[in-house]
Structures are given as C-alpha cells and as structure tokens.
Amino acid sequence: MQKKLWLLLLGVILAVGLTACQGDQGEEETTNPEDDQTVEEDGEQGEEGFESVTLTDKTDTEVTIEEEPETIVSVLPSATEIVYAVDAGDKVVGVSQWANYPEEVSEVEKVGDQQLNIEKIVSLDPDLVVADLNNADDIDALRNAGLDVLVLGAQSIDQVYEDIKLVGQATGHTGEAENVIDDMQTTIDDVTTGVSDLTEEEKKRVWVEVGPELFSGGEGSFIDEVIELAGGVNIIGDQEGWPQVSEEVVLEKDPDVIITTYGYHTEDAVDQVLARDNWQGVTAIQEEQVYDLHSDLLTRPGPRLADGLKELAETLYPDLME
C-alpha cells in the first residue's frame, strides 16, 4: 500500500517540461489620456477593471480570458498553491486529491488525483482551469469540453516566477503575483548571501532522496537548482531530469548529507536510511547527517519552494544561516 501511494505521489511530483516554451507574460501598459484608465495594449478594459488578456502557456497555446474568472478549478497541488498565493483562492471550486495547502483546500470539491475526473470538472463549469504539463492528455480533454485551460510546468525557479505571473494575469491579481515573487526573491537572496563565502572544498555533497526507490532531481530540475543555491553539490547533477539511480551510484558518490522527502508518509524514514546495510561506509551515514524535509517544500514548484531552499540551507549549514 505504501509503495502504491508513493508511485501515485511520484507521478504528481515529477511534473517535467524542461524545454517548455514560455510566451510573453504580459503586455506593456499605457495610460489612456481621455479617461485616465490603465489599459493593456491589444486588450480591452473589462468590468471592475479586469482587462481581457491573451496568455501563452507552457503548451505554447494562446489562452484568451475575456472576463475575470469567478470560478477556478486547479488540478495539481503546486498550481493550487500559486492560485491561493496570488489571493484568488476564494474563486477555487475544485482541486486535486493531493492538494493540502493552504488549509482551506480541505473543504474544496476534489476532482481526482493523477486520473482527473473530467466529468466532475465539467460539471463545476469553471471559468478557468489551471493545470500542469503533467496532466498530459487530460488537458486536451478539458479543452475539447470547451473550458479555458492555463497550463503551468516549472522546472526552475525562474519558471516558477513565470507561472506565478501567468496565474496573476489570468485571475486579475497581477500586483499580488508580483508581491509573491518579491517575497520569494528576498528569501532566496538571504540564503545565497549566507552561503556565499563557501569555498568549493567546503560545499557539502548532497543526495536528496525523493523516494526510497532512489528517485531524485538531476540537471535541469528545480531540485538541482535548489541544492546549488543552498551551497551544496548535487551528487547526481551530472544526470538529467528526474532519474531513478542505482544504489551503486549513491555509494560511489559518497554524499556528506542525505535528505529524504517522504517522512510524512513513511514511518521512521531517516532511521531506515541509517540502517541500510550496504550504506554503512557512506560519510552521511557514518556521521549521521541524514535529515527529512517535507516533500511539499522541496518538490512542488510553487511559492513555498523558497522556504524549502531556506530549510535545506539551514540543514546543511546551520552556523551560516543563524
């Protein structure tokens, strides 16, 4: 049962799209001298100040939103966190089964997990569906049902910023989106400043274990970027995407620190790693440098990724991050 839960969760986590195209994130604003309203070039002033907008999402599809969405369905937890972060959460009428943040989502209608309930989503008649590249064929099904679908899919911190901007523009919360990004940048700047004096020799070799089946993030993943920003060296930074590696690879790379991200659903995750027979020669095991950080902070490409970065840096270098 635990393995089945992990495999379902992993499908949600590994939302890839390393070369996904991101279009323009908004049009230049000008001031109309006749009525002193702010209008968007090639857009129209809508009711209550919302401007119709055409956005290019991560499927390279142009999505035109004529009026401010009054009802939103978000079908991936990271997307849901972004919608709530830009202060559009009061419009959310449906979320995925795995959505658990913020707390309010517990009361929202569930529309499936990896397998979306297309019929349920259509019945909710949302003005906007916020999805992710990981939703694959379901995106076409939703669009074929006549719904406006905005697809996200960040695999870097800059792409997280882009996704936040997209959601802000789509929901009429551009100012709130910019505030979220500013807060993330402040946290990230604090971390990078704290570890900036580390020499290459002082940087710790890190293995982030996304699952006991030895999945992790390599080059081109936001996990790799977060490890680097936290002052660490990703031991599988020479591999691309989200690989499953062999035990021999981890043993050969000999990490100084091991981070697990599944302790919230696996009992004694750290103790299980420390007890692995074949791993007793690993530096992190010998020095008991094995820690569990919550998966949602490190494996969701949303606003809390900056908090995950901070926790990782504090774990690797507690003296520098005081």
- The arithmetic mean of pLDDT across residues 183-205, rounded, is 98
**230 Cβ contact list (under 8 Å, min separation 6):** 191, 195, 206, 309, 312, 313, 316, 317
**Cα–Cα distance, 218 to 66 (Å, whole number):** 40
Give the strand pairing for 92-95 and 149-152: unpaired
Chain centroid to Cα 129, Å, comes to 17
Write down all domains in the chain, each with its CATH number in brackets: 50-194 (3.40.50.1980), 198-316 (3.40.50.1980)
What does residue 125 show for φ and ψ, rounded to 5 degrees? 50, 55
List pLDDT tens digits, range 199-239.
999 999 999 999 999 999 999 999 999 999 999 999 999 99
pTM: 0.85
DSSP letter assigned to residue 45: B
pLDDT at 9 over 90: no
Residue 310: in which H helix or E strand, if any? helix 305-316
Tell me what pLDDT residue 48 has: 54
Residue 216: in which H helix or E strand, if any? none
Contact at 8 Å (CB) between 242 and 264? no
